Amino acid sequence: MTAQLIDGIALSRQLRAEVALRTQALAARGHTPGLAVVLVGDNPASQVYVRNKVKACHDAGLHSVLEQYPASMSEAELLARVHALNEDPSIHGILVQLPLPAHIDAHKVIEAISPLKDVDGFHVGSAGALMVGQPGFKPCTPYGCMKMLESIGYSPKGRHAVVIGRSNIVGKPMAMLLLAANATVTVCHSATPDLAHHTRQADIVVAAVGRRNVLTADMVKPGAVVIDVGMNRDEQGKLCGDVDFAGVSRVAGWITPVPGGVGPMTITMLLVNTLEAAERAAR
């Protein structure tokens, strides 16, 4: 059996076209959605990522500003910039690219972002809203994974979902979204003694660890949906996920590729959240 591909690029193209239409309608009423992307330091990977985000905004008709600062920027200076963006009516979403330099307390910076502009969904208020089922921004990566399930008409209701990884930005919110969609959810992590025991029972596996080959063919139930959130490099420097794609795609029913899977969807949901923030502000 060969798994069907869930194509994050094709789905992104579709969703971004919808974003562009809604953006146009909002802009016609004088409320062009605006995203501020703040990058501190010169991490080359971060440079690429933020440029992709700014380009995606441009292509969908959103306004964006990229603010780049040297690694020597102080925490107080960054907090002052966040406060200014909170007050800027042309900006509806604020993204402070992570990781931040070690001398800056990332938690403090994220908490300084207005929850109304927290399009990353990283603020404690956004996390709490997700947990109790109140309106708020969902973190873009797990939100994108839910859209990928939706795109294949797969309802998590009554299914067993296994999430590997418990980070605040992927694993935990992913578990909450699946739970809200009525899945039975197991969260596995580095202290789980027998990972395969859990994954073999899963109808849905989400791998979000940040290490290659965390999920291999022998760990997957035939026909399962496998979502790969990993972003790693192999020996040749090639981008690869957490899943042994060649092996697992012989067993799974559906699988997301890396690249071209969850990554583009993360950016798409950032656009969706920014548009949503602008629509709320325009009401």
Ligand X SMILES: Nc1nc(=O)c2c([nH]1)NC[C@@H]1CN(c3ccc(C(=O)N[C@@H](CCC(=O)O)C(=O)O)cc3)C=[N+]21
Give phi and psi for 202, each to the nearest 5: -85, 135
Residue 82 exposure: Cα atoms within 13 Å on the Cβ side:
25
151 to 170: interface string for ligand X, x by CB under 6 A: --------------------
Does the annotation flag 165 for ligand binding?
A: yes
228 is catalytic: no
Does the annotation flag 167 for ligand binding?
A: yes
Contact segment (CB under 6 A) with ligand X among 27-35, 63-71, 181-189, 262-270 equals 262-270
Residue 263 within binding range of ligand X, rule CB under 6 A: yes
Task: Name the residue among 153, 165, 159 with its Cα closest to residue 241.
Answer: 165
Least distance CB 57 / ligand X (angstroms): 13
The correct pick among 140, 145, 164, 206 for binding ligand X (CB under 6 A) is 140
E strand or H helix at 64: strand 63-69
53 is catalytic: yes
Which residue, 189 or 238, has its beta carbon nearer to ligand X?
A: 238
User: How far from 198 is each of 19, 162, 242, 244, 247, CA to CA, in Å?
Assistant: 37, 7, 16, 17, 18
Least distance CB 128 / ligand X (angstroms): 19
Residue showing tokens 């920014």: 274
Give phi and psi for 233, each to the nearest 5: -120, 135
120 is catalytic: yes
Q: Out of 117, 118, 120, 244, which one is annotated catalytic?
A: 120
- Secondary-structure breakdown of the chain: helix, strand, coil percentages, each rounded to the nearest 5: 45, 15, 40
Cβ–Cβ under 8 Å, residues 142 and 174: yes
95 to 114: interface string for ligand X, x by CB under 6 A: xxxx----------------
Contact segment (CB under 6 A) with ligand X among 80-88, 155-163, 186-194, 257-265 equals 257-265
Residue 258 within binding range of ligand X, rule CB under 6 A: yes
Q: Are strands 184-188 and 160-164 parallel, antiparallel or unpaired?
A: parallel
Residues near ligand X, by CB under 6 A: 48-49, 52, 95-98, 120, 140, 231, 239, 258-260, 263-264, 266-267
Catalytic residues: 53, 97, 120
